[in-house]
Amino acid sequence: MYRNRHLAMRLRHVMRIDGGDPAGGTDPKGGTDPKGGTDPDGGEATAKRLAELEARLADWEQVKAKADKWDAHEAAGDDDKDGDAIDKLNERLAAIEKERDELKATQARRDLVDKVAQATGLDAHAVAMLNGDDEKTLTDAATSLLALMYDKAKASKPRGPKPPRTDPVGADESMSPMDRMRAAYAN
């Protein structure tokens, strides 16, 4: 009769709840026996079964109310788990934005250092060590450094040719190397 055995079992169960018995066994007192025979207790078993079903129905109403409340909660977007996930994503986004800003600042500093190094002729590594946040300050510091380096280099240059070296012992080639050593350290 039924293709789906599970559906047939559920229909039998529903028929028992409604008071009908699929096997046709009814109690003369008005009760039904779940096994298909007559119920010797009459309506007591039916009343007990009805009370159990009403208790389940009350539980079902509570569960349904909770489910409706949960659906409304999800629809409003107030889910704590979603809120935690959103907070974590916001923290991650803030960290990424901070890193991006730091990288942009570093790149801007490199560009400024390269520009000043080309303008002044000073090495970029030396310009990078100077203090200054804008081009004018950094250029002034670089030119001051160049002036100091030029003055220092000018002061350290020899002023004239070195005098020729004289032999402490003299120009006597007849002396042996040992004699020259003795003469050099004799004074």
Q: Are residues 136 and 103 in the same domain?
A: yes
Of 30-39, 99-108, 120-129, the poorest mean pLDDT is in 30-39
Please give the structure tokens belonging to residue 45: 């078993």
Q: Are residues 103 and 71 in the same domain?
A: no
* Pairwise pLDDT comparison (116 vs 51), residue with the higher score: 116
**Phi and psi for 83 in degrees, rounded to 5?**
-65, -40
pLDDT digits (tens, 9 = 90+) for 129-152: 988 889 999 999 999 998 888 877
- The boundaries of the domain holding residue 30 are 5-76
The CA distance from 108 to 9, in Å, is: 77
Q: Are residues 20 and 69 in the same domain?
A: yes
Q: Is the pLDDT of residue 97 over 50?
A: yes
Q: Are residues 26 and 61 in the same domain?
A: yes
Q: Cα separations (Å) of 119 from 105, 143, 148?
A: 21, 10, 17
Q: Are residues 50 and 102 in the same domain?
A: no
Domain assignment of residue 165, yes or no: no
Q: What pLDDT is stored for residue 40 in this prediction?
A: 58
Paired with 26 in beta bridges are 32
Q: Are residues 67 and 10 in the same domain?
A: yes
Domain assignment of residue 162, yes or no: no
Q: Are residues 37 and 72 in the same domain?
A: yes
Q: Are residues 60 and 114 in the same domain?
A: no
Domain assignment of residue 57, yes or no: yes
Q: Are residues 130 and 71 in the same domain?
A: no
Q: Is the pLDDT of residue 155 over 50?
A: yes
Q: Which of 16, 42, 76 is the last residue of a domain?
A: 76
pLDDT digits (tens, 9 = 90+) for 1-46: 445 666 666 666 666 765 555 454 444 444 455 555 555 556 787 8
Domain assignment of residue 173, yes or no: no
Average pLDDT, the chain: 76
The CA distance from 85 to 38, in Å, is: 60
pTM for the whole structure: 0.39
Q: Are residues 71 and 111 in the same domain?
A: no
Q: Are residues 60 and 102 in the same domain?
A: no
pLDDT digits (tens, 9 = 90+) for 80-94: 566 678 888 999 999
Q: What pLDDT is stored for residue 63 in this prediction?
A: 81
What is the number of domains present in the chain?
A: 2
Q: Is the pLDDT of residue 186 over 70?
A: yes
Q: Are residues 14 and 64 in the same domain?
A: yes
**Phi and psi for 26 in degrees, rounded to 5?**
-120, 155
Would you say how long the chain is, in residues?
A: 187
Q: Is the pLDDT of residue 59 over 50?
A: yes
Q: Is the pLDDT of residue 109 over 60?
A: yes
Taking the CB of residue 79, how many other CB atoms lie within 10 A of it? 14
